[in-house]
Structure 1
Amino acid sequence: MVNTTLPKILITGATGQVGTKTIDFLLSNKDIEIIAAVRSLEKAAYFTAKGIATVILDFDDESTHLPAFAGIDRILIITGYTVDMLRQSKALIDNAKKAAIQHVVHLGACGRDDTTVAHWAWHQFIERYIEWSGFSYTHLRPESFMQNVLSYGGKKAIENGVINAYVADARMSWVDIDDVAQVAALALAHPELHAGQTYRLGYDAITFDEMAALMTSIIGKPFHYEPLSPEVFLQSMIDSGAEMAYMSCVYDHWKRYAAGTIPGADDTFDNFYEITGKQPTKWADFIEKHKTELEY
């Protein structure tokens, strides 16, 4: 008798931007089964309406881990923006091993292997723990998300053509979330092709002044960049009640971008076509695709 059981792929962070897009890329693949991890039945309704199975998984409640992992073959791990990501990731990985999950795709952060940017390094510790635990793995290290110029921290990032950022005149490397999700989906669907790989994902390096000029040219209205002090970011995080162990690291990395002291801040890569067979999104493509959102 032929075994017709399909590999089961669990998507954590399923309601976030990368998780949702990864599911979208996987939906047409009939050789796998997708399961979305959610924290509540209310969150499950969106996926149930699309015919996607769900399980309840709370990173902070370890009693939910093994039931959620039952029968799972592959997992996408996406944690949130707090220092708890370290504890949460370790618990997830430990329980994934108990559940005999085979392949782990981990969404990490920017940076070269020798980075000293704190929250980037935390993700690299998680990468090493995944490897040490004996999993087949694919590590994803996206550079700054292009979508951050549409909204950041739940707020619109550009108002009336004025772009604000905390990095002075730094040239930064960027990636479209859609491209990150496409690589994640392929690594989950075809672990035999992507196991053991660390994919750095950044395909266009640009300053905010250059970004403003591109937007002006493509949209036909004036855009300009007004840099803000990283202190403005720090105070806004304090005022909003954000988790400051993590956000203090983000504040520090804005200062380092502005000072030009992050090695490889503008690193870009030529791996996207090899991974996907497609060309990556560049800034001109992204602006064209999001003209409606950028209009004012």
Structure 2
Amino acid sequence: MSDKKLPKILITGATGQVGSKTIDFLINNKEIQLVAAVRSKEKAIPFTNKGIETVILDFDDERTHQTVFEEIDRVFIITGYTVDMLKQSKSLLDNAKKAGVKHVVHLGACGGDDTTVAHWAWHQLVERYIEWAGFSYTHLRPETFMQNLLSYGGEKAIKNGVINAYVEGARLSWVDVDDVALVASLALAEPELHLNKTYRLGYDAKTFGEIAELMTTAIGKPFKYEPLSPEVFLQSMKNAGAEMAYMNCVYEHWKRYAAGTIPGADETFDNFHQITGKQPVKWVDFIAKHKSELIYN
């Protein structure tokens, strides 16, 4: 029996859609050890039932940051949707550095290096801090998640065939969460192949109207897009008690999408096959894959 020490990988945001899917891609990899970071013992149960080691991590409690990185070699950092992501990320990275973590995969946001969309730029500040701290890294910059049309904010996103969004007729670049997670899993499993890379991940550009047409054809029931004012989003976030520093940024970027003032909003990339050896999911594929979830009475 080999006594070779396997690299240990910590997945933050393990219960979220990207983190959980990344774990699914890595769980059968015998060349690594997986550790899932969760907020409570209750949330740890599904992972321990699968034989996955867990640690308790509260982004807002810096005391938990100091212990989770023991014996960790690589980490996938996925932060939440608040301005506190900046201080959370800094604290996590500082403690990861002290513990000897070598490689950081960071889930960021859309945009080129010159973006002026505020919450996208926040993610780029985290990227720069990762680099300044001396980690090797892989930066992931996904475009809009296709899964947002299945559910958004904990609610079903399409109701009785009606798609609502806040961007008028803008064409957006889209990516399947599964494809983002696949790239993350490869960067974590074989960091030497993805060393100091920034991957922009968006593979199909469509308007919401075009997506509704594709759904109508594939599902055999009518779908239509009804745009809403960004003001509706802003009020709904206030009513929900959301953290408004972040949500005000989201509101502003919906306004800019609608006005057509975000450069490259519909930009797509041809890197997926080179990274993964596979073809990315396009909207036709995504609709077919999730047909049962899109059918309505």
Residues of 2 paired with 1:159 and 1:55: CA distance? 38
What is the percentage of aligned positions where both structures have the same residue? Answer: 77
User: Which residue of the partner structure matches residue 24 of structure 1?
Assistant: 24
Correspondence list, 1:51-70, <5 A:
51-70=51-70
Number of the residue aligned with 1:157: 157
Alpha-carbon shift at residue 199 of structure 1 (Å):
0.2
Q: Which residue of the partner structure matches residue 46 of structure 1?
A: 46
**Cα shift readout 1:28-60 (whole Å, capped 9, x = no counterpart):** 210000000011111110101111000111111
Superposed CA deviations along residues 228-283 of structure 1, whole A, max 9, x for unmatched, are 00000000000000000000000000000000000010010000000000000000
TM-score (norm 1): 0.99
Q: Secondary structure at the match of 1:67?
A: coil
- What is the letter of the counterpart of residue 189 of structure 2? A
Give me the whole-angstrom Cα distance separating, in 1, the residues matched to 2:239 and 2:140.
32
* Partner residue in 2 for 1:118: 118
Cα shift readout 1:55-105 (whole Å, capped 9, x = no counterpart):
111111111122110000000000000000001000001111001100000
Letter in 1 for 2:191: P
Q: Deviations over 1:157-178 (max 9, x none)?
A: 1011100000000000000000
CA-to-aligned-CA distance 1:123-167 (integer Å, 9 cap, x gap)? 000000000000000000000000000111111110111000000
SS of the aligned residue for 2:293 comes to helix
- Classify the secondary structure of the residue corresponding to 2:19: helix
* Cα distance in 1, alignment partners of residues 141 and 212 from structure 2: 26
Matches within 5 A, 1:76-155: 76-155=76-155
CA distance in 2 between partners of 1:212 and 1:37 (Å): 37
TM-score (norm 2): 0.99
RMSD: 0.9
Report the 3-state secondary structure (helix = DSSP H, G, I; strand = E; otherwise coil) of the residue aligned with 1:68.
Answer: coil
User: Partners in 1 of 2:51 and 2:135 — Cα distance?
Assistant: 29
**Which AA in structure 1 matches 2:40?**
S
1:1-296 equivalences under 5 Å are 3-296=3-296
| Residue aligned with 1:82, SS | coil
- Please give the alpha-carbon distance, in whole angstroms, between the structure 1 residues aligned to 2:106 and 2:193: 16
Cα offset, 1:2, TM superposition? 6.0
Code of the residue aligned with 2:127 in structure 1: it is E
For 1:6, the aligned partner's letter is L
Counterpart AA for 1:8: K
